[in-house]
Amino acid sequence: MRWTRPLTAIGSAGEKLLDRLLCVFGAVAFSQLPEFFQQYLQRLGGHLAEARRQLGLFQEAAAHSGLTLDQLIDRTQAQAGSTGASLASVMTDTVSRVDHLAAAESALRGASLWSRPFVFLGHLDPEIARGTWEAFRPAVPTTLEGLVYAAVGIVAALSLYHAGVKPVARKLAARPAPSARYGFPR
């Protein structure tokens, strides 16, 4: 049908426009990952510094009493009542938190460009990630890492489009008009 040629041309132009918009969206979205990781690392470092400060106070209190931190925790735990047990639990949790945060920070700082997303997910602290997201400020990536993530975003967006959206759109466009389908006269 000749009258459908303009519609086909418009559909083709719309498809090309959608293709390019998805490329831009994928590039921009994925290029923000290195910036999010950087802001997450800053927040993680702040949490680690504060946990180390608190641990240092407990260690000073132990040293002032002529004890190691483990000995102070054991003595505090042995005290009658829930107050001693609660304080011992706080000290033990602080030691664990410092170990956990230090391991996460070390792993993220040592991660390669390709492994960083997986290391991030493996050491994710949901509270820190939530705080990072709430304070996140996008940035223009000017590093090789930002460029690589942008390229991965383009590939991911195009793959999603060509594997999922485009075939469905073509099937819908190829369906006969309702009048032809149900035998209505034109």
Residue range 43-88, pLDDT digits in tens: 999 999 999 999 999 999 999 999 999 999 999 988 867 888 899 9
> In sequence order, what DSSP letters do the residues of 130-173 get, joined into one string?
HHHHHH-------SHHHHHHHHHHHHHHHHHIIIIIHHHHHHHH
Phi, psi of 41 (to 5 degrees): -60, -40
12 pLDDT above the threshold of 70: no
Burial class (CB in 10 A: 0-12, 13-18, 19+), 22: buried
Q: Contact, 114 vs 99, CB < 8 A? A: no
- Between 131 and 27, name the one with better pLDDT: 131
Please report the pLDDT score of residue 180 as a whole number.
53
Query: What pTM, to 2 d.p., does this model score?
Result: 0.70
> In the structure, what pLDDT confidence band is assigned to residue 8 with cuts at 50, 70 and 90?
low
Average pLDDT of the chain to the nearest whole number:
85
Please report the pLDDT score of residue 162 as a whole number.
80
Record the tokens describing residue 170, joined without a space: 């073509």
Whole-number Å distance between alpha carbons of 89 and 76: 9
Q: Contact, 57 vs 68, CB < 8 A? A: no
